[in-house]
């Protein structure tokens, strides 16, 4: 079931929108919201992944101590 979500726009914007009556402005707003949600969810997933990597790194340091291993050197080989 869909819910109603009202959006206020400046009068000048509404007047411009009226010039393009064939545009489904509700659909335009819905797609913009969905795109922003996808973007925010991806950022949230990246943040959680970075936090998990930090936790793993901290656990490795606690368990095995510091290391002079440089993964960049391995990648360059």
pLDDT tens digit sequence for 20-73: 999 999 999 999 999 999 999 999 999 999 999 999 999 999 999 988 888 888
CA 22 to chain centroid, in Å, comes to 31
How many domains does the chain divide into? 1
- What is the Rg, in whole angstroms, of the alpha carbon atoms belonging to the chain? 24
Tell me, yes or no, whether 12 lies in a domain.
no
Q: Residue 73: what pLDDT?
A: 83
Residue for token digits 């002079």?
68
Show the tokens assigned to 34. Answer: 């969905």
Q: Residue 2: what pLDDT?
A: 87
Tell me the C-alpha distance between 28 and 42, whole Å: 21
In the chain, the largest separation of any two C-alpha atoms, in whole Å, equals 68
Q: Residue 48: what pLDDT?
A: 98
Tell me, yes or no, whether 30 lies in a domain.
yes
Helix (H) / strand (E) element for 5: namely: none
State which residues form the domain around 61. Answer: 23-65
Tell me, yes or no, whether 10 lies in a domain.
no
């Amino acid at each position: 079931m869909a819910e109603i979500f009202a959006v206020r726009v400046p009068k000048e914007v509404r007047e411009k929108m009226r010039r393009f009556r064939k545009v489904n402005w509700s659909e335009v707003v819905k797609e913009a919201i969905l795109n922003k949600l996808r973007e925010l969810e991806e950022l949230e997933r990246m943040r959680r992944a970075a936090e998990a990597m930090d936790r793993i790194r901290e656990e490795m340091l606690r368990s095995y101590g510091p290391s002079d291993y440089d993964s960049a050197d391995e990648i360059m080989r």
